[in-house]
Structure 1
């Protein structure tokens, strides 16, 4: 008769083992991250030095562009396992060194982002000040290369901090400066495609359907609290279109969506909402709530007059939808309801 394997009972773990295991896992992960960052830093510095040497030789001794092809061949023969010495990448190194002449900036700033991030910035951003701003934002927000490309193509640098606000009168420094820098104009909702006859609730529903993209466009720190958020004041019910909480500002953010042009009465409505939120939701540690009115268009002078005497902090900005399809073509597209009916889903 064959012997049966009898499973031995597991040895009980000593007290504190789980905590030790978690601590070691965390320490190993941190070391892995530091090692990866160190490798990236050395790689970026190496590429900058190679590019600088090539550039100096070309300037001082008049070497032509063909020498880069020869260098790629010789370096590739000497270091066959190294993939970054192609003619194309050597030309990027030369352009990198030409764009950034200060080695200190390369060491302290540019080495914090990947080589592919740096290439993207070289290709897509021509102004050095703009380029450095995108580098700093990438470091602060941890943007992937794809997110960086999106932010560049949407013109984030030109839009950041451009909303019309009354923060200088209604918030104390430095919160007023931080709040102003977080709002932009216009907001780019290129992930939406609304029909011309769309209403506010259609815009709201579409933004919530693409909440991840909406949060990315709002910027880092916005936490979604609710839509059509109910407030009861004096026995009456009122509903905020979108309510957020900002982690850096430490305050609630009320967003009012409008499908058309800004009107002065919108500011009064948001002023009322902010008073209610401060009384009903705000904790003692929270800072004053702020409001953001998003409109399809605005008259700047009208907005400035509307905000001038408001005692609650708020801003007004426009939004831009995708321009991929002409208006007449968008108008000819079937609605969701029409598609459902055509496909037999109307029940």
Structure 2
């Protein structure tokens, strides 16, 4: 945690918690979100999509829970919600035992766009209406993107009705470099083939 600079990452995500949650819950909610999240425990190919990222996180759920922090309980992935005649699927659903609320996590393998906040707002509303009990506190959402512009994120949350935090994630390329040094390059393979043909 020291090496990953946890103290700098805790509570630094862009959120609208101050305006959407009671003060005590808002303070705790801000402290559970990191920016950025460190996904160095994952091994992914260079060009991966959201499904591959989600698969990798679920396969490494213990490491993912450690990175999320204390209090998160995993409920499921691609959690089905039926709203009207339409079907929707939440990327990842957790319950936070200290906040006593559901936490909806949406993953995006691209830079933050304002419409991502609208989608997450909808999912939180659906969870509040269909899953949340009277004993549970307000559901919160965490949008984890490959990158974000903080000003765009702040503007996007200004009129969103549900409590949402926006963060980014990082995956170190150290493992890739380690493997790359032990494998021949494309040029070296091509040269070997030419040498064999001679």
User: In the alignment, is residue 174 of structure 1 matched against residue 29 of structure 2?
Assistant: no
Out of 165, 175, 183, the residue aligned to residue 33 of structure 2 is: 183
Q: Identify the structure with the greater strand proportion.
A: 2
| 8 Å CA contact retained: 1:245, 1:253 | yes
| Aligned position for 1:318 | 168
| 8 Å CA contact retained: 1:221, 1:247 | yes
| Aligned position for 2:115 | 265
| Aligned position for 1:279 | 129
- C-alpha separation between the residues in 2 aligned to 1:156 and 1:246? 19
Gaps of 5+ in 1: 1-150, 334-347
| Aligned position for 2:55 | 205
| 3-state SS of paired residue (1:215) | helix
| Aligned position for 1:156 | 6
| 3-state SS of paired residue (1:259) | strand
Which structure's relative contact order is higher, taking Cα pairs within 8 Å and 6+ residues apart? 2
How far 1:329 moved relative to its partner? 4.2
- Render the CA deviation track for 1:234-266: whole Å, top value 9, x for unaligned: 021100000000000000000000001000000
| 8 Å CA contact retained: 1:230, 1:238 | yes
| 8 Å CA contact retained: 1:193, 1:322 | no
User: In the alignment, is residue 221 of structure 1 matched against residue 54 of structure 2?
Assistant: no
| Aligned position for 1:250 | 100
| 3-state SS of paired residue (1:152) | coil
| 3-state SS of paired residue (1:245) | strand
Out of 80, 85, 90, the residue aligned to residue 240 of structure 1 is: 90
| 3-state SS of paired residue (2:147) | coil
How far 1:229 moved relative to its partner? 0.2
| 3-state SS of paired residue (2:2) | helix
- C-alpha separation between the residues in 2 aligned to 1:196 and 1:262? 19
Q: Who wins on radius of gyration, i.e. which is larger?
A: 1
| 3-state SS of paired residue (1:194) | coil
TM, length-normalised to structure 2: 0.88
- Render the CA deviation track for 1:109-130: whole Å, top value 9, x for unaligned: xxxxxxxxxxxxxxxxxxxxxx
Count, aligned residues: 182
TM, length-normalised to structure 1: 0.51
**Range that drifts further, 189-198 or 230-239:** 189-198
| Aligned position for 1:230 | 80
Moved segments of 4+, more than 3 Å: none
| 3-state SS of paired residue (1:274) | helix
Gaps of 5+ in 2: 185-198
- Superposed CA RMSD in Å reads 1.8
| Aligned position for 1:57 | none
